[in-house]
Amino acid sequence: MEEKKSKLPVILIVIIVLLLGGIGFIAWQYLEMEKAKVEADGNVKAVESEKANLFKQLDELELTIAEQKGLNEDLDMQLNERLAEIEDLRVSLQQANARAADVGRYRKQIEVLTEQIQEYIRQNARLSHQVDSLGYLERVKQMKLDTMEVRNYQNNRRIEELSQKVEIGSQLRISDIRVTAFNNRQKEVSKAKQTYKIGITGTMLKNTLTEAGPKTVFMRITTPSGIVITQSPSNQFEFEEKTIMFSEKKEVQYNNTDTRIEMFYNIGEGQLEPGLYRITLFSEGREVGNSVIELK
């Protein structure tokens, strides 16, 4: 009986030690969870702060582009493409989750875009340094716009770029456009009287906001005198609530990935005049790309 009484305190002590150990373990786990929660909240705040900084950088790039536009036609074309990329990045960044990896990826894209824009500005500064007469400036201005219709469209487009950012973010775009003139033996030429065919190549850019499927691309070739080249007066399509002429059209299967595109227009040898020809591409009621070629 006395032996049983002597064992009882030992058992109680063991039980108390186990209880204290369990309570200590639970308290340790709770503190670790609170620590992890604080770290997670800190990471989210840091990522959101970085996103706000990236939005500020995009705003500054837009202001930089606005200051440079209107000085040189070729530069304007390049800056317009970069402006479209800025809007794509802005929409994507707004939809991105608060993950450091995603924000880091957008930061690198903005750094690359910033360097490209700065390089364009440096190129334009070197070109401006070469301008030494009012006559040269007038010739550059004459190359800008061929018709009042295009000028009005460019003005409307600039307004749309500022007021309909989400809509513009889903717009198709064709970049890396290269225009080539061929003779009747399929060899590249640079003279108007030898040109038998005009061809363009380019890339319809990936855009996850655009619905996949077949896309009809219209090519419009405008002569130096402002006339649209076409094989038939019935070659017309709707653009900006108006019916305008096109030179050639092609259906492209678009799957929300970078898609290579080629288009050709047969003219017939000896039918073109020397000068600057503007090639404009349209799809889904909008201009999606443009370029020029000068034939001697």
For residue 262, what are the contacts with CB-CB under 8 A and spacing of at least 6?
Answer: 199, 200, 201
- Of the listed ranges 11-15, 24-28, 262-266, the one predicted with least confidence: 24-28
Tokens of 249: 């059209």
What pLDDT was estimated at residue 113?
72
Span 229-234, mean pLDDT?
90
For residues 271 and 51, the model is more confident at 271
Q: Which amino acid is at 19?
A: L
Q: Is the pLDDT of residue 279 over 90?
A: yes
What pLDDT was estimated at residue 40?
45
What pLDDT was estimated at residue 42?
46
State pTM to two decimals. Answer: 0.44
CA distances from 152 to 51, 149, 157, 158, 161 (A): 36, 5, 9, 10, 14
* DSSP β-ladder status, 259-266 and 275-283: unpaired
Closest among 165, 142, 154 to 275, alpha carbons compared: 142
In tens, the pLDDT along 84-133 reads 777 777 777 676 664 556 667 767 777 777 777 777 777 766 666 555 55
Could you give all domains of the chain from N- to C-terminal order, each with its CATH number? 1-144 (no CATH), 170-296 (2.60.40.10)
